[in-house]
Structure 1
Amino acid sequence: MQTFFIKNLDCASCAAKIEKELKNAPGVREVKLSFALNTLQIDCDDIESIKALIARLEPDVTLSEKKEKTYFFNSQFFLLLGLVALFLTSLWVFHYIEGAQNYEVFFHIFWVGIYLVSGRNVFLGALRSFKKKEFFDENVLMLSASIAAFCIGAWEEAVSIMLFFSAGEYLQDVSVKKSKDTINAATLDQTTIAHKIEGAQVEDIDPKELKVGDEIVLYAGEMLPCDSTLLESSASFNCAAISGESLPCDFSKDSEVLSGSIALGSAIKLRILRPFEKSQIAKITELITNASSQKSYTENFITTFARYYTPIVLALAVLIAIIPPLVFGESFEEWIHRALVVLMVSCPCALVVSVPIGYFGGLSAASKNGALLKGSNYLEALSKLSLIAFDKTGTLTKGVFKVIDIFPAQGYSKNDVLHYALCAHNLSNHPIAQSIKSAYEELSHTHHVSEYEELSGLGVRAVCDNHEIIAGNDKILHKFDILHNTCHVEGSVIHISVDKSYLGYILIADELKNDAIEVLHELKNMGIECVMLSGDGKYPCEVVAKKLGCEYYHSLLPQDKSRIFSELKARVQNKGKGKVAFVGDGINDAPTLALADVGIAMGGGSDISHQNADVILLNDSLGTLLKSIKIAKKTKIIIYQNIIFALAVKGAFIVLGLFGLANIWEAVFGDVGVALIALANAMRCLKL
């Protein structure tokens, strides 16, 4: 996939049109276009043919490998400012200087000059739209409106339509570009230079040129470009970009430091562990960039609405212009003037620009807090949650188990149970296995494991020194027909058997995460039902559920989790309200994550859970989940504010225009103003 920055793309509908055409172009295997980030990711055979296709669709749009800065005060700004000043001055002279109206012809010629200069981009845009038979383009509409104004002798209004529309378009374009630059700065903040150590010299190179094993130096305040190993005895980094954690993180020698971390203090030496494209910050950036291709229901609705809004308003304006004069004998000049006021609000720019910008601002705000969402559709779904189901171990609890006690069967010792427990779990990375290893590191034993098998939701089976060892919950004993009399032990239990003989069990315990009680309490206050689904036994689940005050289901295999979750989802759907989410971290959670409206994976979980998840909590914090839901709800409010505000203002001008209570000047300023205000309001999402 090649990534390009798109220049001069200021129209959301144009972006959608380009993306649609590129997907159907020959030689294109995959394409993702982000209007919010002005980026194009494409996998194709011939990029030059793609550039040519884009030029045919939108002649002003070009591709660049480097992002360019947006400047507010440029030649276009000063030209429009000068034209506005000249026009307003000429109006004052014409109306307030005695005898000036005797030179009306000269003023008309002067105004036509202002009209032609200010509207040159509108004329070119309208010409391209005519060639493509797109008659509802805003340039065509404004050109038609200004010509109609000239035809009824409204010279001042005709020039004001073109001049102030062009000025408004300039302000809107610059505002959109500035908004995108702000979002880019918040989401794609990557270092552009790496300081590679070459002998006694330090060479500045592109981070993409770094190779595994290269040594670099990172100065205070700089961002680490690639995942690396620390060569210093110790160092501190700001890891907020990748985890949302604002406190400094301390690392010791040979520790892995993820890209995106910012150096604190003095210069730091590191060794590259992974190349740029496989490092953490590159993966995060790719996820954020791809998120814009997954559009929310509201975005899709606004896109569809915009296709019908303009033709309907145009038809209404035509009816206003012709029906009263033809049916009631009213003045054509008066009703055409009123129709032009209505026509001024026929462009839905305030909606089609501010809505995607608002959603992407929300996605960026969530990412800054440590939550990666794979699309604005999931941000919208988070705002509508009615129920969240949680896995227990590693999600609600720390996943750090401690061995509490060992209960050997008659004829065996505690060391016998431990001996074989260590054999069975020697190849496992499960938190329970790690707790057994770490608690009894002093127990020396050489393992000769010839067979090893993890049984999802049950435990493990291993063959060590020709002895078959079974270790897991009560279900695994029944699966292998092992006789025992400890079916109803309270607590988290690891049963051990060797060669079909039951040796006893180990009692372990897990701790709740520090913020679990507070987060679930606040979720319930927000009207979100919380349920715990766990593969653990009844006793440990009951203890945790009582502390959290939530409904729970215990002793669930992966297929049981999926079945129970489907029932919970159906329960919510039958009530006709909201969405459901599942939060988990393990391989056994992947099927349930895929069933959820919003699948949420903890950052420290398995790769499979990440692949099936729609949201990834990079810092494993339940507080980040709560913050993300709040961001989603606030983003939704801001988006709805923009929709209601824009439609209300446009509706008001349609009514005022119909009754002759608003003039063309006011309609132009109202249309431009509502777009700028909606855009400014949408940018609040970035600061949530």
Structure 2
Amino acid sequence: MVTEKKQYILEGLCCGNCAAKIERDVNKLQGVSSATVDFVSKTLTMEIAEPAAANSLIAQTDAIIKRHDSQVFMREKELMQPGQKTLYLLGLCCGDCAQKIEAQVNRIEGVKAATLDFVSQKLTIEAVDREKLPSIIRQASQIALDIEPDIKISYTDQKPEDDGAARLKKYAYRFCLCVGAALFAAGIAFHFPQPIDFIVFLISYLLVGGEVVFRALKNISKGQVFDENFLMSVATIGAFAIGEYPEGVAVMLFYQVGEAFQRLAVNRSRQSISELMDIRPDFANLKVGNEVRKVTPEEVGIGDLILVKPGEKVPLDGVIEEGFSALDTSALTGESLPRDVEPGSEVLSGSINKNGVLIVKVTKEFSESTISRILDLVQNASSKKAPTENFITKFARYYTPIITFAAVALAVIPPLIIPEADFNDWIYRALAFLVVSCPCALVISIPLSFFGGIGGASKNGILVKGSNYLEALNTIDTIVFDKTGTLTKGIFKVTKVESVNGWSKEELLAYAAHAESFSNHPIALSIQKEYHQKIDPQRLTEQKEIPGQGIFVKIDGKPVLAGNGKLMETEHITWKPVDALGSIIYLAIDGIYAGYIVISDELKPDSKKAIQELKELGVNHTAMLTGDSRMVGEAIALEIGLDAVYTELLPHQKVEQLEQIEKNKKSKGKLVFVGDGINDAPVLARADIGIAMGALGSDAAIEAADVVLMTDEPSKIVSAIKIARKTRAIVWQNILFAMGVKVVILILAACGIATMWEAVFGDVGVTVLAILNAMRAMKTIQ
């Protein structure tokens, strides 16, 4: 089935409860396969199963949003296809100029199509060849600036401008609140006689809470009854009905003030999270011949040279061509120590150049660079919600109606069955009951906690692809590791060359280096490095890889076999197995066994410590899967303290062995696999949680994984679990605190002890405190 993905920014969304209701109702639309609302980033993500009906579904979605909150503005977020880019020409106000820009951009060589929407100031360019897109963007930007010099070019989604009407509405709201508060204070201070007293408080109430009552009536007309506007309106109008004018106004006033503080706290939290990820480079110094031009990172293509000055961020991934320096990678990896770099060193976008001037050859375009990948993973992480978030959303759906009916029962039943009971007294208790019942403290603070945890993890070089994975890290039972590049450095070195049957060591190494010249595997590269001479391709006439065993080549017309013991057995070579610590490559030349080469790998310095700390955290079982020999695998497992090791496995056998480990688990905890190579992608996808070593790992492994470690350190798994546990603790602190306070006030209100003043604190005050507590999740590990 072909599905269409769309994303929208919900500008003005500040109610977590409304966000949950919007998500629920959009999911009910026929033709929408899935919909999630990320309250933190105010993003609605939709998967439309019927693309032909997309316009109708979007219109229905907009109607749903307006039904829940008429103040929310739905703005489409660009989802660019490969080879496509959007430029925002901010300040473009000339229609004729817009036509000229569009026409000239369409004439650029390599442009498949270019359209300029004058109303939205959006220029969309589609290139024939994706690799030529950066060059096309540079030319298009120059054309636009030549025609309209006063415009500003932006490469990110533009936000709707704060127009005069919106500003006027904001000022009017503040003015009404201030005047209403002044009248309320006057009514309390001067004790006016009736009916002046009533009129003063009524005007105060209308100024302070008129908008809330209007929204409640509007929502009721649309079938949306049980929300905070309805609860506050019923409670305060009820207070007026029983003659408690000051309390009716006071509850609405403090509710509005509390809502303002709540919006401030939410925005501060969002801003803190945004600042946490403020690692996007703003520009790149592009070298064009002898000239250096300041351009946006999107305008730089693969193979271009960029200049990075001291103090600047590295804008794109690449390899250093000239210069020596130290790079601060703390924003990417969480490591405080700078990394020394020189010509030939790989550099990652987002790093900060500390001292020397560097010339870098770009290896990835901006959309595929490390920095873009990090930002994309973090910004979209909240769309995969944790079970706790889903539970709270479902809980809130039933909680508010139940509390409302309980309040009705509290107001009606006791006066009917208790002799001499006062109706006004029980109605007042029921009204206080209503005020405290809003579930916003949970609906807002829980997603903020998870997003803060994900942001804090990213600051420590740990990318978690969703709240669900962050929560799952709390219940790990078994962790299975790959060996090469995961527990070991993956930097191989030839430690022994042994020749037999008349061959010299130099000849054996020469045959091995030529045989392995087709491969980029670390073992093959180590043999080529040890050879210290250039490979002569004219000596090679045939080549055939034998999966899981080795390689067959013809060198100088002689058939050469290079591989493991299975290869020797399969080809019926008379050979003798060798016991040595390392990977062993056996060679046969012209059908006769010629000797072996031992290649050794080195353990990562923190592998042993990581295994020890994982066991201290309660991980029940640790194991290793490797294609290496039994001797090597068991020696490493014994040294670092693994519980089990499975050796000499082919890629498909790793998946089978993982499934067997899953069956043998003694608890219902999660199974984690940690790997880095392209062969690990199937195993990463099969595990409950896949963790990829990201900085040196393959793109396939990173794509298949649920968690990515930017520094390739096994000890980061320990950090990830600690972050997950801290986040879970904050989530449950908020749940227990919010529910505890609400239950206490509900009981006290029912008993006639708590007034509406306490009820307002139980609603808005608790929400603000829960949000502030949620912000601590971002500072999990310093």
Taking structure 2 as the reference length, the TM-score comes to: 0.80
List aligned pairs for 1:577-588, cutoff 5 A.
Answer: 578-588=669-679
Query: Is the deviation greater in 249-258 or in 593-602?
Result: 249-258
Change in 2 beyond 3 A, CA 1:230/1:436 = closer
Q: Single out whichever of 226-235 and 149-158 deviates more from structure 2.
A: 226-235
Per the alignment, residue 657 of structure 2 pairs with 564
Q: Tell me the residue number matched to 2:206.
A: 116
In the alignment, the residues of structure 1 paired with residue 484 and residue 691 of structure 2 have an alpha-carbon distance, to the nearest angstrom, of 15
Deviations 1:645-667, CA, capped at 9 Å, x for gaps: 11101111111111111001111
Deviation of 1:266 (Å):
6.4
> Could you say which residue in structure 1 is the equivalent of 2:273?
183
Aligned to 1:320: 410
Q: Describe the shift of the 1:393–1:266 C-alpha distance in structure 2 as closer, same or farther (beyond 3 A).
A: closer
Following the alignment from structure 2 to structure 1, what is the Cα–Cα distance between the partners of residues 304 and 563? 44
Q: Of the candidates 56, 59, 65, which is equivalent to residue 57 of structure 1?
A: 65
Partners of 1:468 and 1:123 lie apart in 2 by: 89
CA distance in 1, matches of 2:293, 2:779: 37
Assess if the C-alpha contact under 8 Å between 2:580 and 2:598 holds in 1. Answer: no
1:476/1:40 CA distance change after superposition, 3 Å: farther
Name the CA shift for 1:535/1:25 in 2 (closer, same or farther; >3 Å): same
Report the counterpart of residue 89 of structure 1 in structure 2: 185
C-alpha distance in 1 between matches for 2:46 and 2:718: 35
2:640 is aligned with 1:548: yes
Q: How does 1:407-418 map to 2 (within 5 A)?
A: 407-418=498-509
Question: How far apart in 1 are the matches of 2:321 and 2:657?
Answer: 49
Q: Tell me which of 727, 733, 757 is aligned to 1:641.
A: 733
Contact 1:149 1:158 in 2 (8 A): yes
C-alpha separation in 1, matches of 2:288 and 2:218: 55
Which residue does the alignment assign to 2:19?
15
Residue matched to 2:355:
265
**AA in 1 matched with 2:400:** T
Q: Which SS does the other structure have where 2:489 is aligned?
A: coil
**What corresponds to 1:668 in structure 2?**
760
Contact 1:5/1:66 (<8 A) preserved: no
> Cα offset for 1:111?
1.7
How far apart are 1:591 and its partner, in Å? 2.4
CA distance in 2, matches of 1:235, 1:2: 43
Q: Which moved more, 1:367-376 or 1:470-479?
A: 470-479
- Name the CA distance, whole Å, in 2 between partners of 1:458 and 1:278: 35
Relative to 1, partners in 2 of residues 1:320 and 1:485: Cα closer, same or farther, differing over 3 Å?
same
Find the residue that maps to 2:385 and give its secondary structure.
coil
1:490-514 CA-to-partner distances (Å, cap 9, x unmatched) read 6431122235432221122211101
**Structure 1 residue 485, shift from structure 2 partner:** 2.7
Residue 702 (structure 2) pairs with residue 610 (structure 1)? yes
Counterpart of 1:38?
Answer: 42
Give the Cα separation in 1 of the matches to 2:356 and 2:183: 59
Residue 113 of structure 2 aligns with which residue? Answer: none
Q: Secondary structure, in 3 states, of the residue corresponding to 2:383?
A: coil
Q: 1:214 to 1:34 in 2, by over 3 A?
A: farther
2:401 corresponds to 1:397: no
Distance 1:620 1:614 in 2: 15
- Corresponding residue pairs, total: 678
Distance 1:229 1:404 in 2: 30
Tell whether 2:438 aligns with 1:347.
yes
CA–CA distance in 1 between the matches of 2:459 and 2:373?
15
Secondary structure of 1:237's partner?
strand
The structure 2 residue matched to 1:530, chosen from 605, 618, 622, is 622
**How far off is 1:222 after superposition?**
3.5
Counterpart CA distance in 2 for 1:490 and 1:302 is 54
The Cα of 1:246 is off from its aligned counterpart by: 2.2
How far, CA to CA, are the matches of 1:373 and 1:213 in structure 2? 31
How far the C-alpha of 1:535 sits from its partner, in A, is: 1.7
Corresponding residue for residue 129 of structure 2 = none
Aligned to 1:517: 608
Counting only pairs closer than 5 Å after superposition, residues 28-427 of structure 1 correspond to structure 2 as: 33-39=37-43, 50=58, 53-54=61-62, 57-58=65-66, 59-63=70-74, 65-66=157-158, 75=171, 79=175, 82=178, 85-86=181-182, 89-90=185-186, 92-94=188-190, 100-101=191-192, 103-196=193-286, 204-212=294-302, 216-230=306-320, 232-253=322-343, 255-265=345-355, 270=360, 272-329=362-419, 330-427=421-518
Structure 1 residues 171, 460: closer, same or farther in 2, change over 3 A? farther
Q: Tell me, yes or no, if the aligned pair for 1:391 and 1:533 is still in contact at 8 Å.
A: yes
Scaled by the length of structure 1, the TM-score of the pair is 0.90
Q: Distance in 2 between matches of 1:192 and 1:128?
A: 44
Question: What is aligned with 1:507?
Answer: 598
Query: Structure 1 residues 352, 499: closer, same or farther in 2, change over 3 A?
Result: farther
Deviations 1:322-345 (A, max 9, x none): 110122242211111111121112
Change (3 A) 1:139 1:202: farther
How much does 1:470 deviate?
2.9
1:2, CA displacement in angstroms?
7.7
8 Å CA contact 1:54–1:61 kept in 2: the answer is: no
Provide the secondary structure at the position in 1 that maps to 2:13: coil
Structure 2 residue 716 is the aligned partner of structure 1 residue 624: yes
Structure 2: distance between partners of 1:418 and 1:548: 32
Contact 2:672/2:689 (CA < 8 Å) preserved in 1?
A: yes
Residue aligning to 1:654: 746
Deviates more, 1:240-249 or 1:283-292: 240-249
**Match of 2:40, SS?**
coil
CA–CA distance in 2 between the matches of 1:446 and 1:655? 85
Residues 384, 539 of structure 1: alpha-carbon distance in 2 compared, 3 angstrom cutoff: same
User: Which of 1 and 2 has higher RCO (CA within 8 Å, sep 6+)?
Assistant: 1
Specify the SS of the correspondent of 1:292. Answer: helix
Summarize the Cα distance change of 1:445–1:230 in structure 2 as closer, same or farther, 3 Å threshold: closer
Q: Distance between the aligned counterparts of 1:215 and 1:415, measured in 2?
A: 41
Partner of 1:97: none
**TM-superposed deviation, 1:69:** 12
Moved more, 376-385 or 107-116: 107-116
Match of 2:166 in 1: none
Q: State the distance in 2 between where 1:447 and 1:27 align.
A: 61
**Aligned to 1:421, what secondary structure does the other structure show?**
helix
- Residue 183 of structure 1 deviates from its aligned partner by 0.9
CA distance in 2 between partners of 1:166 and 1:455 (Å): 73
Shift of 1:375: 0.8
Task: Answer whether contact 2:279 2:371 (CA < 8 A) is retained.
Answer: no
SS across alignment from 1:393: coil
8 Å CA contact 2:324–2:357 kept in 1: the answer is no
Name the aligned partner's letter for residue 631 of structure 2. Answer: Y
Cα distance, 1:201 vs structure 2? 7.3
Counterpart contact for 2:187–2:201, Cα < 8 Å: no
Would you say the 8 A contact 1:474–1:487 is kept in 2? no
Question: Which stretches in structure 2 are left out of the alignment for 5+ residues?
Answer: 76-156, 163-169
1:190-234 alpha-carbon deviations (Å, 9 max, x no partner): 234445567887665443344446555545444333334546422
Shift of 1:18: 4.3
The Cα shift of 1:424 comes to 2.2
Counterpart-to-counterpart distance in 1, 2:641 and 2:415 = 71
The superposition leaves residues 477-533 of structure 1 with CA deviations (integer Å, 9 ceiling, x where unpaired) of 334443323176664311222354322211222111011111111111111132222
Distance 1:316 1:475, change over 3 A: farther
Is the 1:492–1:539 Cα contact (8 Å) retained in structure 2? no
Deviation at 1:561, TM superposition (A): 2.3
Match of 1:498 among 578, 589, 595: 589
Give, in angstroms, the shift of residue 450 of structure 1. Answer: 4.8
| DSSP 3-state at the match of 2:267 | helix
What is the letter of the counterpart of residue 459 of structure 2? K
